[in-house]
Amino acid sequence: PEAQGVLAGAVFIVIMFVFIPIPFWRYLFGKDYVLPLWDVSELCRHQFLLDEQRALLFKSQFIHYLAGLLCICCMVFLGFADDALDLPWRHKCIMPSIASLPLLTVYLANEGTTKIMVPIILRDIVGTTVDIGVFYYVYMGLLTVFCTNTINIYAGINGLEVGQSLVIAASVAVFNIIELRGYLWRVHLFSLYFLIPFMAVCWALYKVNRYPASVFVGDTFCYFAGMTLAVVGILGHFSKTLMLFFLPQIVNSLYSIPQLFGLIPCPRHRLPWYNPKDGLLHPSKVRFHPKSLSTVGQFVLNTCARFGIVDCHVVASPCVTENDTNELNVDRDVSTGKELTEEIVEVNNFTLINLWLRFRGPMSEAETTRSLLLLQIYSSVLAFIIRYPFAWLFYGVPTN
């Protein structure tokens, strides 16, 4: 039960393979119109148009469909490798970039646009659009890295990984349904080809992964979900809008930067700790010597403490035994691993889950998951509010 995300990814891939003939049946199995046998010129002309139509299809949607599936397959495989081999973080940043290469290659081969729309206030200076060329492909590659890893680091309690993916996918699906009335309805319909099976798989998995979980999804599901959403955003040409639905994940990533970049000591796991005495989750903490921090690290810690976004205080009795460490779920000294025989400070780990528990107070695991998923839903509502009025205000048109 440790890595059921592999099964979810496999079921999704099988569904997508079986689904291939449905949206493309008229092009794959379409028959010629009945024409008089003596009208050879009309027959040749019709066959030429039919072949040209099929070639255009395979150059656009069908090839994009297969390229997206290939990226997702690669990410499921690499995620399973991470679950089995416990790969270091530097490899986790490289894997999505490698898995996205088929999609980026197809995008380049089909002469995908690399232009971005400019806000109204800057159009007199740079024009309506700006072609950023190769930087657009760099941006799409970074998008896949962000989507896959941001779900992975915003996780650790029952149902949160699957729940947030389900809410984001449902929000994007609602956005696509709204945009079906526009002139770009084909790309939004194409996105729904991926999102509907993905939501079905997520819902089935969520029912057994929510508290108390009978199965666990592992890193495989996080990579699979992130890559699926990234593929949808890239192929649907609404990557900026997609980022609006990742607001909690963006906040969590920004909040985690001090630990992820080594400015603050970072333990292997930063999950909230369960207190068996009250049955509630509490913010997990890390202890370290203040002198072990760099100048930048000390500045970041002091700034965060001044604004109240971390709980930082000096531990009165620095001598912590191994039993006390295990009970508190804190590290004795992450940076050096030495005995805590000097004055030390204690701060909560820099994750949105711990920050949420700090402001809301200790909660049960089920209540914590529900409240964080409600936060995700409210963030999606805010994303829609930002997306439509502000798109008209800053761009003059409902831009993606």
For 309-363, the pLDDT digits (tens) are 888 887 765 454 444 444 344 444 444 444 444 578 889 999 999 999 999 999 9
Query: Tell me, what DSSP letter sits at residue 271?
Result: P
Q: What confidence category does residue 98 fall into, taking pLDDT thresholds of 50, 70 and 90?
A: confident
**What is the pLDDT averaged over residues 275-279?**
90
Could you give the 3-state DSSP secondary structure of residue 1? coil
Q: What confidence category does residue 158 fall into, taking pLDDT thresholds of 50, 70 and 90?
A: very high
Give the integer Cα–Cα distance in Å for 194 and 184. Answer: 17
Give the integer Cα–Cα distance in Å for 77 and 145. Answer: 16
C-alpha distances out from residue 181 to 117, 169, 186, 396, Å? 21, 20, 10, 18
Q: Between 90 and 216, name the one with better pLDDT.
A: 216
Could you give the 3-state DSSP secondary structure of residue 268? coil
Q: What confidence category does residue 29 fall into, taking pLDDT thresholds of 50, 70 and 90?
A: low
pLDDT digits (tens, 9 = 90+) for 183-222: 888 889 999 999 999 999 999 999 999 998 888 898 899 9
Q: Taking the domains of the chain in order of start, what are their residue ranges?
A: 5-245+371-395, 259-360
List, in order, residues 6 or more apart from 302 with CB less than 8 Å away: none
Output the average pLDDT for the chain. 83
**What is the pLDDT averaged over residues 358-379?**
95
Please report the pLDDT score of residue 47 as a whole number.
47
pLDDT digits (tens, 9 = 90+) for 46-62: 444 455 655 565 567 88
Identify the helix (H) or strand (E) that includes residue 80: helix 61-85
DSSP conformation letters of 325-344:
HHHHT--S-TTT-----S--
Q: Is the peptide bond before 212 cis (omega within 30 degrees of 0)?
A: yes
List, in order, residues 6 or more apart from 174 with CB less than 8 Å away: 384
